[in-house]
Amino acid sequence: MLKTLLDNSAFFKLVCGAGNEDPESVKRLVYIYSLAGCKVFDLSAHPEIISAAKEAQRLSAIDNLYYCVSIGIKGDPHINKARIDSGKCIKCGSCYKLCPNDAISEYIKVKTSKCIGCGFCAKNCPKDAISMVEKDADVKNILPYMVQSGVSILELHVMGHDNKDLDYKWQIINDSKPEFASICIDRESLSNKEVLTRIKNMISAREPYTTIIQADGIPMSGSDDTYKTTLQAVAMAEIIQDAKLPVYLTVSGGTNSKTAELCKLCGIKYNGIAIGSWARKIVKPYITRSDFWSNNLVQEEAVLKGKKLIQSTIYRH
């Protein structure tokens, strides 16, 4: 049960990417990480992505997997997609080489279904030719359907200041009656005080149900495995923990194999860790191979990488 995983601090969530709308990539990620021991998968809120995850579960024959779908309020980077202005682009190839999700082709075209909105390409473009464009979902229809399709957690990313959009989407999440609702929050544009006020307002709107708070460091920043990368996530978790709220606390945003250790050093008693960028990066050389489905050795090596990462996130007293 999900509650047991959270109660035992054994909740590891593989973040496939709220913007990752590529069914084959999701299928391979869920397949490898379910074999590695992951029980919870964060997916884009699209029927074909849920189907891809379920197909992977059928292939791996692992029972009791749980699915979470994430949506964002306006201003949340997770719902952005890159757009290239061909008039400004000089075809230097930098974005193509940098993109962690292979979402830019060698012809410098964005493959929208693969773009997770991380913004690395835009930050590094020498000609300022890339902008990030919001792609909002039809949450009113899609979220109840997700719950009916077996999704256990509905998560709202609440970065930004659009309170109207936040209230609207949070209400739809609660009306959809998921097993758990989750709030993913960071401090990029909110003070510590604003973070806690926002969380308190949101959880009071869904009493008596328990909420998961996903303390987000720097969203989609886990491109390496250092303490520095995970520092902000742990600092954010400390703020939530110190507020002593009646919530489950999970950590994300720059999380990696160092997160659990740093949490322990800082006295953070988390219920779970969610990892996206780093978890995807370590299996990318395997899951992008053309012989992936026919090569057992490739699959086994990828599973070992995933297992090692999951082991590193186990809460140690």
Write out the two tokens for 135. 């792609």
> Residue 278 CB, nearest distance to ligand SF4 (Å)?
15
Residue whose CB is less far from ligand SF4, 122 or 237: 122
Please count the other Cβ atoms lying within 10 Å of the Cβ belonging to residue 214.
31
Residue whose CB is less far from ligand SF4, 115 or 282: 115
Contact 146, 154 (CB under 8 A): yes
Instruction: Transcribe 231-300 into DSSP letters.
Output: HHHHHHHHHHHHTT-SEEEEEESS--TTHHHHHHHTT---SEEEE-HHHHHHHHHHHT-TTGGG-HHHHH
> Residue 28 CB, nearest distance to ligand SF4 (Å)?
17
> Residue 87 CB, nearest distance to ligand SF4 (Å)?
11
- Closest by CA to 182, choosing from 314, 272, 77, is 272
> Residue 280 CB, nearest distance to ligand SF4 (Å)?
11
List of residues contacting ligand SF4 (CB under 6 A): 82, 84, 89-95, 99, 101, 103-104, 108, 110, 115-121, 125-127, 129-130
Question: How far is it, in rounded angstroms, from Cα 288 to Cα 148?
Answer: 31
> Residue 44 CB, nearest distance to ligand SF4 (Å)?
13
> Residue 231 CB, nearest distance to ligand SF4 (Å)?
22
Residue whose CB is less far from ligand SF4, 50 or 118: 118
Question: How far is it, in rounded angstroms, from Cα 129 to Cα 262?
Answer: 38
Residue whose CB is less far from ligand SF4, 103 or 184: 103
Residue whose CB is less far from ligand SF4, 100 or 178: 100
Write out the two tokens for 60. 């791996």
Contact 275, 5 (CB under 8 A): no
Place of tokens 């988390």: 270
Residue whose CB is less far from ligand SF4, 121 or 263: 121
> Residue 17 CB, nearest distance to ligand SF4 (Å)?
8
Tell me whether residue 170 is exposed, middle or buried, using C-beta atoms within 10 angstroms of its C-beta: 0 to 12, 13 to 18, 19 or more: buried
Residue whose CB is less far from ligand SF4, 128 or 138: 128
Instruction: Transcribe 192-218 into DSSP letters.
Output: HHHHHHHHHHHHHTTTTS-EEEEEESS
